[in-house]
Amino acid sequence: MESTNIAQPKKVIYTAKTLTTGGREGASKSSDGRLDIKLTSPGSTGEGTNPEQLFAAGWSACFIGAMGIAAAGMKLRLPADTSVNTEVDLCALDGQYSLQARLHVSLPGIDPETAKAITDLAHQTCPYSKATRGNIDVEIVIL
């Protein structure tokens, strides 16, 4: 098994473990059995989801958590109906593939200036945002 030079965090909070077989036309299962899904290529009519949908769902959930932490630091609570509609595009240019994303954030009842402060801080602290920073184009839209 090949080792990478990834800096180890001081405290691992959780480790997600999955086994994927068959690539985009395969299946993925988590070690705890809570995830067991069929995979299909984007745009196909087959049963299942694709990696881009899974990434968008994970980023949305994580971003809402980061916004909650940001709001708490401002002595605010997120509205119960807070939502993030994330779009992840799979792009191709000259035979090279890449991703780009848009996060459409709804914070009902929060003024635009405060909503921007919350989303800006969340984008700095969300692990998905950190992982993609400088690697893909990301647009955050406050609705």
pLDDT in tens, 34-63: 999 999 999 888 889 999 999 999 999 999
* Alpha carbons 55 and 89: distance in angstroms, whole number: 11
* Alpha carbons 52 and 84: distance in angstroms, whole number: 15
* Alpha carbons 21 and 92: distance in angstroms, whole number: 24
Interval 84-96 mean pLDDT:
96
50, 71, 141 from 74: Cα distances, Å:
37, 5, 21
Q: Are strands 96-106 and 137-142 parallel, antiparallel or unpaired?
A: parallel
List phi, psi (to 5°) of 24. -70, -15
Q: Are strands 27-30 and 18-21 parallel, antiparallel or unpaired?
A: antiparallel
Q: Are strands 83-93 and 137-142 parallel, antiparallel or unpaired?
A: unpaired
Stated as kind and residue range, the H or E segment containing 138 is strand 137-142
As a whole number, the mean pLDDT across the chain is: 94
Note whether 60 and 68 are within 8 A (CB): no
Interval 119-139 mean pLDDT:
97
* pLDDT, position 35: 96
Task: Indicate if the pLDDT at residue 1 is higher than 60.
Answer: no
Q: Taken in order 45, 29, 55, 1, is the CA torsion positive or negative?
A: negative
Task: Supply the pTM of this predicted model.
Answer: 0.90
Task: Indicate if the pLDDT at residue 118 is higher than 70.
Answer: yes
* pLDDT, position 4: 64
Interval 128-141 mean pLDDT:
97
